[in-house]
Structure formats: C-alpha cells, structure tokens
Amino acid sequence: MPTKKVNTWKFHFRGSSLIVGVPYLWLLVFFLCPCLILLKISFADSVLQIPPYSNILKWINDSAAQLTLNFANYRLLLTDDLYVRTFTTSIVIAANSAFACLLIGYPMAYAIVRSRPKIRMILLMLIVLPFWTSFLIRVYSWVILLAPTGLINKALMYLGIIDQPLKLMGNYCAVAVGIIYTYLPFMVLPIYSSLEKIDNSVVEAAYDLGCTPIKAFFSVILPLSMRGVATGFSLVFMPAIGEYVMPEILGDASTVTIGRIVWNEFFTNLSWPVASALSVMMIIFVAIPVMLWYGGQQIRLNKKLNIHEKV
C-alpha cells in the first residue's frame, strides 16, 4: 500500500509539472527569446541594409570571433531630453490611469460582490461585454464622442453652455480617458475575485467588536482585498505605459509616448537599435521594478494571512 501511494503521488507530481511547464515553455519561447533578440539589436549600429542593423558578432577566422557592443544607443536615450521627457510622461499617464481605474473599479467590484447572485451574474457579464467587440471600434467610438463635431460638443453647444467646440481630443487627457475605459475590466475582475473570497464571518466579527461600517471596511475588507488591488494595478499600469493605439487615435502630433516613439524609430526612421534599446530600458526600469513590487506585495500579504489564520 505505501508503494502504491508513492506511485500515485509521483503521477500527480509529474502531471501537475507538465500542466505548469507548458505555459512556462510558451513564455520562454515567445517572451524570453524576443527579449534576447531585442537586447542583441540594441547593441548594434544602424546601417542601410536589410535588416537595418549591424551584426555584433563577427568571425575573424575559423577559430575566433569578435563581439562589438555599441552603447551609444543607451547613452542617447539617457541624455536626449526628448526620450527622457517621453519616458516620464508615459509613466505619469499610466500611473494616473491605473489610479483612476482603481478609484472607479473598486466601488464597482464591491457593489457586484454585495449584489444578489442573479444580478451579480448580469453585472459581471456587463463588465466583460466590451471584450465582445473589436478593440479598435471601442477606441474609435471615443472619437465620435470627443471630436470637435462629436456628440459631447454638439450637446454642450445645443444647451448653450459653450459657443465654440472644446478641444476634447488631441491631448493627454483624452489618451488617459481611452486607457481608463479600455483597461477598467482588468482592475474590476481581480478586485472582485479578492472581495468574493473574504469570509463574511470576519466582517461580522468586526461589527460585533464595535466597528462601524467605514472602520470595518478600512480595517478588514480593504487589507484582505489588497492582493486583487495589486494585481489589477499591475494589469492596468504595465500595458498602459507602452500603449500605442490610444495616443495615435485620441492624441495628436504633440502627444508623444513611448509606444509612439518605438513605432516611429522602428518603422519611420528605421532605427531598430534605438527602438530596441528603448524597449529594453522600459523592461529594466519599469517592468522589472513593478514585477518585484508585485511579488513583494504578494509575499507580505501571504505572511499577514498566515498570521491571521494562526490567530
């Protein structure tokens, strides 16, 4: 019998390893390999050929090779005011959009959790309903609303509130509105998942101990839902910082973000090394710190939950 149990455990272990290993293999091939290619191109020189960059590894003879790393692309990004300002602007837009999604999404998730089960399913379906339509159609719908001849300006002029159309498009505010609208479900769903897992007996115990609803929310509910908040913030902030479609459609020529700079360097200027260096720097200075922060948050929350369970 013990041998049978050991064999069963080994079978489950191998099965779970296979299930977990396939996604990691997918990430290794389609995330790590492209990143390594970007890193290689970022150290090359721009040349007039196809592809438009030099080879950093050259064979001198049959037994020796020469590796040439060009750091001028990274020095350009760190010293040129355009790239520094664009990098800072993109981070500010992404952070503000993520906080706005949090302020809007948390009450929505809380209301969904507190609703009746039948209504809850309808509300959840409304959250994911925009995903059933094309991403570009959803973004272009904001053009219909925010354009000088759009519905909002027409309504304000019809009511006599304004005489001339307001400039609602072609600025960073319009870009942020588009990001908030597009990525709001990525904030609502993780927070909803965390709120749903909170044991109601814990909240009732806080009420029995004399907590007011507001104090119980900030002392019990909010700390226990921080895992969903951290997940939602990461899911909104990370893609928003490299967003290209929203600045291109809702912004104008002065609305410069990292995504547009990378596109222009790749496809307009054909400066693949500079675009690759910009992408690598975005991973190093933005993605990795956010991933470390998210991992630290998860470890800290797990410790708190373990202490809470022991108590």
* DSSP, residue by residue, 24-43: HHHHIIIIIHHHHHHHHHHT
Taking residues 246-262, what's their average pLDDT? 87
Strands (E) in the chain, as ranges, are 57-59, 65-67
276, 41 contact by CB (below 8 A)? yes
Cα distance between residue 237 and residue 183, in whole Å: 9
Render pLDDT for 126-141 as a digit per residue (tens, 0 to 9).
998 888 888 888 888 9
Q: How confident is the model at residue 156 (pLDDT cuts 50, 70, 90)?
A: very high
243, 179 contact by CB (below 8 A)? yes
pLDDT at 14: 64
Q: Is the dihedral of CA 190, 181, 253, 88 positive or negative?
A: negative
- DSSP SS3 for 302: helix
203, 193 contact by CB (below 8 A)? no
pLDDT at 189: 94
Cα distance between residue 204 and residue 209, in whole Å: 9
pLDDT at 203: 87
Residue 247: partners with Cβ closer than 8 Å, 6 or more residues away: 175, 255, 256, 257, 259, 260
pLDDT at 96: 94
Q: Is 49 exposed, middle or buried (0-12, 13-18, 19+ CB in 10 A)?
A: exposed
Nearest of 258, 88, 94 to residue 180 by alpha carbon: 94
Question: Exposure string (b/e) for 136-162, b if CB count within 10 Å is 16 or more?
Answer: eeebeebeeebbeebeebeeeeeeeee
Q: Which residues, in sequence order, are bridge partners of residue 66?
A: 58
The total number of residues written for the chain in this structure: 311
More confident residue, 5 or 98: 98
Taking residues 250-266, what's their average pLDDT? 87
- DSSP SS3 for 177: helix
Q: Is 264 exposed, middle or buried (0-12, 13-18, 19+ CB in 10 A)?
A: middle
Q: How confident is the model at residue 2 (pLDDT cuts 50, 70, 90)?
A: low
Nearest of 73, 66, 77 to residue 45 by alpha carbon: 73
Cα distance between residue 243 and residue 95, in whole Å: 13
Q: How confident is the model at residue 67 (pLDDT cuts 50, 70, 90)?
A: confident
DSSP state of 133: S
Whether 31 shows a pLDDT value over 80: the answer reads yes
Cα distance between residue 128 and residue 188, in whole Å: 10
pTM value > 0.95: no
Cα distance between residue 51 and residue 166, in whole Å: 45
Q: How confident is the model at residue 99 (pLDDT cuts 50, 70, 90)?
A: very high
